[in-house]
Amino acid sequence: MEIKRNLYLNRLISLRHSGMVKVITGPRRCGKSYLLFNLFKNYLLAEGVNPDHIVEVALDEEESEPLLDRHALGQYIRSRLTDNNMHYVLIDEIQEVAGFERTLNSLMRLPNTDIYVTGSNSRFLSSEIATIFRDRGEEIRVHPLSFAEFMSVQQQPVASAWDDYLTYGGMPRVLYYQNPDEKAHYLKTLFERTYLTDIMEKNELRKSTEMGMLLDTLASATGSLTNPIRLEHTFRSELGVTFDHETITRYIGYLENAFLINEAKRFDVKGKKYLTTPLKYYFEDLGLRNARLNFRQLEEPHLMENVVYNELKIRGFNVDVGVVENYRKEQDKTTLVRHEIDFVANRGSNRCYLQAALNVDDIQKRNQEIRPLLSVRDSFKKIIIIKNDIKPHTDEHGIITMGLFHFLLDEHSLEG
């Protein structure tokens, strides 16, 4: 089974021979290696590149252990540069090499190398690419399968595929299992033996109890407003556990660095400023989130909201939670009223405001979703996404209502 990842493949192709290190980041087992060693390599071969001019190094394999020393890695790659023609250097899990940036910066100076690397830890890669590679690094952020990618290899109706996606997520390997128990077992094992173990070892944490409690709490409250201080109070009052907010903040950073969760800040739309607290957390993959909770708490509205958030991130949007403040006068009293918009999505100079709801079948529910959007006076798109299978239409206020599957399966659904 070959799953096309054209969004990322085309990005790699567009950066070919750019003089930059192409840094492919994303969570473990999301398909980074497959993208690099299969899809991109096959593209190069189809373009007529000599196989001897493709240098592959998988640093997470046992036979590559000697290359975990940066000097040995650099020496090995140089030994594979057989002539002055372009060589394509493909390195998987580069963060395993201490001081890798010095090796890559040295290799970049060679006129016959085009360098591509992957990494699974944003602390070493995503947040420092510009600094590490002196403005000569370009990040390609890979996510688990989008729903459109998931559907591209499905033979079942979209509604039943949606149920599977909502339950087992978009880790590519899940598609190779037919039995629900096998899918669940794979995801639980992946979470415990790969993600949690990696986080504990990389950050030298001795006990997993506190991390486990934090994961359970964040997974149970996906998309709910919270912050480390509020979490500290929850642990103390409900669990009788002392877990201070500074440690919680640090642990959340570990989870973000491992690409397990993403933070969505609140943005004051009228005041045009960020509100420091509280904020929301969404899981990078719902299958991993559900596995952590033993596939309990599968409330569709919250999971649908998480999917919409992830889809916006996949499309390259910066995503915040919108807050709109208004003053309401009742008799002689003026009251500050805050409305929440699920997502404020920005990409370049484009912006759109989105609400996600299972349905807006009754007038009260529709008014509830529309009210925050009507409070925004600018001319950017305002959209309500509902699960109903409907064609997009615009009401008298200029608010667009579109079906969930139209949004997810049409990559241009937010354009035009």
On whether residue 224 sits in a domain, the answer given is: yes
* Number of CB atoms found within 10 A of residue 72's CB: 15
Q: What is the DSSP string of 200-243?
A: HHHTT-S--HHHHHHHHHHHHTTT--B-HHHHHHHHHHHH----
Tell me the pLDDT of the chain (416 aa) as tens digits: 789 999 999 999 999 999 999 999 999 999 999 999 999 999 999 999 999 999 999 998 999 999 999 999 999 999 999 999 999 999 999 888 988 888 998 999 999 999 999 987 655 554 555 566 657 788 899 999 999 999 999 999 999 999 999 999 999 999 999 999 999 999 999 999 999 998 998 889 987 889 999 999 999 999 999 999 999 998 998 888 888 999 999 999 999 989 999 999 999 998 899 998 899 999 999 999 999 999 998 999 999 999 999 999 999 999 999 999 877 777 777 777 888 999 999 999 999 999 999 999 888 989 999 999 999 989 999 999 999 888 899 999 999 999 999 999 999 999 86
Q: Let me know whether 153 and 289 are in one domain.
A: yes
Nearest to 123 by CA among 199, 225, 226, 217: 199
Q: Let me know whether 216 and 201 are in one domain.
A: yes
Residue 82: per-residue pLDDT: 92
Q: How many residues does the chain have?
A: 416
Please identify, among 141, 159, 180, the residue that sits at the C-terminal boundary of a domain. Answer: 141
Q: Let me know whether 106 and 227 are in one domain.
A: no
Q: Given the structure tokens 């149920």, which residue do they identify?
A: 163
Peptide bond into 278 cis (omega under 30): yes
CATH number at residue 85: 3.40.50.300
SS3 70: helix
* DSSP β-ladder status, 333-347 and 318-330: antiparallel
On whether residue 84 sits in a domain, the answer given is: yes
Q: Distance (Å, rounded) from C-alpha 317 to C-alpha 304?
A: 18
Q: Let me know whether 124 and 257 are in one domain.
A: no
Which tokens sit at 303?
Answer: 């999971």
Please identify, among 75, 109, 141, the residue that sits at the C-terminal boundary of a domain. Answer: 141
Q: Let me know whether 107 and 192 are in one domain.
A: no
Residue 96: per-residue pLDDT: 87
With contact defined as beta carbons under 8 Å apart, do 251 and 214 qualify?
yes
On whether residue 328 sits in a domain, the answer given is: no
Q: Given the structure tokens 């201070």, which residue do they identify?
A: 244
Give the number of domains in the chain: 2
SS3 23: strand
> Phi then psi for 154, rounded to 5 degrees?
-95, 145
Q: Let me know whether 74 and 21 are in one domain.
A: yes
Q: Distance (Å, rounded) from C-alpha 326 to C-alpha 338?
A: 6
Q: Let me know whether 158 and 289 are in one domain.
A: yes
Distances (CA, A) of 56 to 87, 116, 254: 11, 10, 29
Q: Distance (Å, rounded) from C-alpha 387 to C-alpha 402?
A: 9
* DSSP β-ladder status, 350-357 and 333-347: antiparallel
On whether residue 177 sits in a domain, the answer given is: yes
Q: Let me know whether 11 and 131 are in one domain.
A: yes
Residues 245, 250, 253: CA angle, nearest 5 degrees? 125
Please identify, among 272, 295, 318, the residue that sits at the C-terminal boundary of a domain. Answer: 295
On whether residue 327 sits in a domain, the answer given is: no
What is the domain range of residue 219? 147-264+285-295
Q: Let me know whether 29 and 135 are in one domain.
A: yes
On whether residue 408 sits in a domain, the answer given is: no
Which tokens sit at 329?
Answer: 């006068």
Q: Let me know whether 134 and 184 are in one domain.
A: no
Q: Let me know whether 13 and 42 are in one domain.
A: yes
On whether residue 229 sits in a domain, the answer given is: yes
* CA distance between the termini of the chain: 34
Q: Distance (Å, rounded) from C-alpha 364 to C-alpha 354?
A: 18
Q: Distance (Å, rounded) from C-alpha 383 to C-alpha 364?
A: 17
Q: Given the structure tokens 């567009």, which residue do they identify?
A: 14
Predicted model pTM: 0.93
Q: What is the DSSP string of 154-218?
A: --S-HHHHHHHHHHHTT-GGGGG--SHHHHHHHHHHIIIIIIIHHHHHHTT-S--HHHHHHHHHH
Q: Let me know whether 137 and 166 are in one domain.
A: no
On whether residue 47 sits in a domain, the answer given is: yes
User: What 8-state DSSP symbol labels residue 38?
Assistant: I
